Amino acid sequence: MSLELISKNKVHGGWHKRYRHESAVNNCTMTFAIYLPPGVDESQRAPVLYWLSGLTCNDENFMQKAAAFKSAAELGLIIVAADTSPRGEQVADDKEGAYDFGLGAGFYVNATQAPYDQHYQMYDYINEELPALINEHFPVSGKQSISGHSMGGHGALVLGLRNSDKFASISAFAPIASPTRCPWGEKALTGYLGNDKQTWREYDSSLLLAETNAEQCPPLLISQGLADDFLQQQLKPELLQASADEAGIALILEQHPGYDHSYFFISSFIDQHLRFHAKHLA
C-alpha cells in the first residue's frame, strides 16, 4: 500500500506527518497523522499508540490540540491519529447533514446497511488495514495500545476488548460507554447496522466488558470530566464500572470535577494517559 505525504512538521525533536492513502476496506481515500519521536529509525523501533477521535473530528484535532508531543518524545511513543469516518463525494452522509451520523461519525463499526455498507467499515480499518499500513512503512516495534475520546473512546474500548491479544493497554477520555443505551449510539447503530439490536451488542463496551475474562483484559484507564454536558444522557461511565465490578476487572475510572468534554480536558490529562500506556508497552 502506497502513501502520499501531505505535510510534515518538526516538533519536540520528532516529526508530525500527515498522509493519505487508498483504503480497500472503506473504498475511498483515507487520511491519517503520525508522530515519530526523536531517534526512531530502522535500528531503534518504537511502540504505537493509536488514537481515535470523536464526533465531527478528524486526525488534526488530537494532533493540534492535545499537547501530547512533549511526553510522547520523552517516552519514545509513536502516535497514530486516524480519521473518524470515510470521506469523499461518493461516500454517503446523513440525509439532513447531522453532525452525529455519516461523515465524521463512523462510530468505528462495520456497517451492514445500504448505502453505508459500501464505505463505512471503520472497525476493520482500525483493526486491520491501518496497522498493516503502519507496520509496512514505519519503524514500529510490534507493540501497540489504543486510546480515544468520546465516540473514539467507545471505539478504543470496543477494539481493545475484542482484540485483547493485540493491545497492551486501553484508555479513553469521556467515552460513550454504552451506545446501545444512549441517543448518539442508538441513532448510529440503527443507521449502520439496522434494527436488530442483537447485532449492536458487539459494539457496546459496557456489555463486552461484563463478558471479558479478567485475566485476558488489558489494563484499562478512563478519565471523565464531571462538568461534561453529555455525561448523564450520552456517556454513562457508571455502566462501565458496574460491568468491570461484575467481571472482576480492575478498571481505573477517574472522575475530575470542573472538567468538560473538550480538548482542554484532554490536554490536562494526556500526559497521564501516555505514561500509562508507556508502562504497559515497555
**What is the set of active-site residues?**
150, 228, 261
The helix (H) or strand (E) run that includes residue 123 is helix 122-124
Contact 254, 240 (CB under 8 A): no
Bridge partners of residue 7, in order along the sequence? 18
Exposed/middle/buried for 247, CB within 10 Å: 0-12, 13-18, 19+? Answer: middle
Could you tell me whether strands 28-36 and 46-52 are parallel, antiparallel, or unpaired per DSSP bridges? unpaired
Order across the sheet with 46-52: list the strands: 4-11, 14-23, 28-36, 78-82, 46-52, 140-149, 170-173, 220-225, 252-256
39 φψ region: left (φ > 0), alpha (ψ -120 to 50), beta (else): left
Could you tell me whether strands 170-173 and 140-149 are parallel, antiparallel, or unpaired per DSSP bridges? parallel
Sign of CA dihedral 194, 200, 203, 206: positive
Q: Which of 233, 253, 234 minimizes the C-alpha distance to 243? A: 253
| Cβ contacts of 68 within 8 Å, gap of 6 or more | 35, 62, 79, 270, 271, 274
The total of other beta-carbon atoms located within 10 Å of residue 29's CB is: 14
Contact 60, 34 (CB under 8 A): no
